Amino acid sequence: MTRKHDLWGKVLLGTVALVALTGSAYAQATAGGTVIRNQASASYTDDPSNPTKYSATSNEVTTTVSYVAGLQITPDGSTPATTVAPGSTATYTFTVTNLGNFTDNVEFLASGASIQVTGPGTVSQAFVDVNGNGNYDAGTDVDIQGNGAAATHSLAQSGAVAVVVKVTVSGAASAGQTIKVELGDTTGSSPYDNQSANNSTHEVHTKHPGSITAVNGEREAKGDITMTVSNVATVTNGPSGQPDAVGPGPSTNTDYTNKAVTAATTNTPVIFDNTFKNGGNGADTFKLKVATSGAPAGSKVEISIDGGTVWTEVITNGSPSGTPEVTTASVASGANSNYKVRITLPGGATALTAYETIIQAVSVSDPTQTNNTIDRIYTGYLRLVKTATVTNATGVGGATDAVPGADIEYVIAYDNIANAPTGTGNVDLDALLVVITEDGDVSPNNWSTTTDRVASTESDSRGGTITISNSTGGVANSKYVDTVGTLAGGQSGTFRFKRKIKQ
């Protein structure tokens, strides 16, 4: 009977050890390999009235606790509220825990095969973070992404270590997309821990050290984390078809479209065609408004988002109206949207003046994201300034006295007052087919009959072609035509010639 009871004791102890380790707690179970010793003792007497007692000792029974492996990776199937931005690096941190009752190794497959990514991201780095600082430290941490062979890390019984997976999010990722990272590849439903290892393609499993053999074999586990791509709103706003235009600075807030009216027709509406782009990673709506108006009192600014069928007056008499902005329909990520701006200056606006209206596009999903473009009207833009200098070498009067025989040099300075072409994608204002005409008979001129040409004194600083002919009244050599050609914004030149006062 004694031997039979001893055998059942050994079986029961081994069974208890295994059952205890297959539960969910695993809190410091009796270590595998531990020898449990048991020896019974007894005392007895042969006469209750006799104080003499005898003792007896049984043989010693020993039971060695079995090695039971266990592995856990957390989190399991979590979807944290954490969001990641396109183009950023997202950090996924897992915890790998040894649930076994002995120090065991955890093995990760070669070349990052234990890691899977689903969604718009790629693994840039993965490592066992031995020192727990969140950064890869060569010589301390274990690389499990660039490892040419399987990599292992030893974990004490109940020990845990962090595994860090860094993922580069695609710059083209759309808002709401998810990026899921799986460490390990067990099957079934959550939790995916402590399953029998089966040498699958993306496995993370135990690898028992030395000659240890666990009664339940090698184990594997899986964890997964999902992050959501955030909505990153951006907008650019520019001339027609050029939402990414760059103006002075350089800046995408100073791009421009230049147009002109004559001083006599300043109250004629001028229509600008502009384009904005949803540069965000999700669909968005936008508000269009006047950020700054340099137009004079009496001006009107209107915006149309339907090609000019319906106009919303956002500036009335030079000030914001009751409807100071227009809200667009939803615009897809990366898409352009065209709109029109109609500006009417008041009659009598100052000639040769630039009036700027800054149109701003504002993201509705993130109102901090704005971009400007400038719609600029010039009330004429070719300026002519004429001067005359008298040179008197006749000996009569002073050196600058306009006496018969003295020379008069006429200088016409001309310049395009529009801003010089700057940046990319802007609409500039060139003065085309510039021709300067000097006719001595056209009122109020009368110099054709009072002066004579001084030969070979005609010149143009920009190389314009000068022709000399009879004036309207038929006076010889009394009409000058300077064909300048094209004059870009900011460019200037001078045309000069001399006439001698008739004696």
Q: Where are the domains of the chain?
A: 2-30+33-64, 71-229, 235-379, 382-501
Residue 241: phi and psi, rounded to 5, are: 75, 5
Question: To 5 degrees, how large is the angle CA 164–CA 182–CA 106?
Answer: 60
Q: Rounded distance, CA 399 to CA 384, Å? A: 27
Count CB atoms within 10 A of the CB of residue 64.
14
Are 290 and 360 contacting, i.e. CB atoms less than 8 angstroms apart? Answer: yes
Q: Rounded distance, CA 190 to CA 223, Å? A: 9
Q: Tell me, what's the pLDDT at 77?
A: 75
Are 45 and 52 contacting, i.e. CB atoms less than 8 angstroms apart? Answer: yes
Q: Rounded distance, CA 284 to CA 177, Å? A: 16
> Does 235-379 match 71-229 at the fold level?
yes
Q: In terms of Cα–Cα distance, which of 68, 79, 59, 75 is closest to 29?
A: 68
Q: Does domain 382-501 have CATH number 2.60.120?
A: no
- State the DSSP code for 215: T
| Highest CATH level, class, for 71-229 | mainly beta
Q: Which residues pair with 497 in a beta bridge?
A: 410
Q: In terms of Cα–Cα distance, which of 34, 42, 39 is closest to 13?
A: 34
pLDDT in tens, the chain (503 residues): 443 334 333 333 343 344 344 444 445 789 999 999 999 999 888 888 887 789 999 999 999 999 999 999 999 876 667 889 999 999 999 999 999 999 999 999 999 999 999 999 999 999 999 999 999 999 999 999 999 999 999 999 999 999 999 999 999 899 899 999 999 999 877 788 999 999 999 999 999 999 999 999 999 999 999 999 998 999 999 999 999 999 999 999 999 999 999 877 778 999 999 999 999 999 999 999 999 999 888 999 999 999 999 999 999 998 999 899 999 999 999 999 999 999 999 988 899 999 999 999 999 999 999 999 999 999 999 999 999 999 999 999 999 999 999 999 999 999 999 999 999 999 999 999 999 999 999 999 999 999 999 999 999 999 999 999 999 899 999 999 999 999 999 999 999 999 999 99
Give the amino acid at 316. Answer: T
Q: Tell me, what's the pLDDT at 28?
A: 74
Q: Which CATH homologous superfamily contains domain 235-379? A: Immunoglobulins (2.60.40.10)
Are 90 and 169 contacting, i.e. CB atoms less than 8 angstroms apart? Answer: yes
List, in order, residues 6 or more apart from 473 with CB less than 8 Å away: 440, 441, 448, 449
Continuous segment of H or E residues that includes residue 21: helix 2-21
Full 3-state SS string of 289-317: EEEEECCCCCCEEEEECCCCCCCEEEEEC
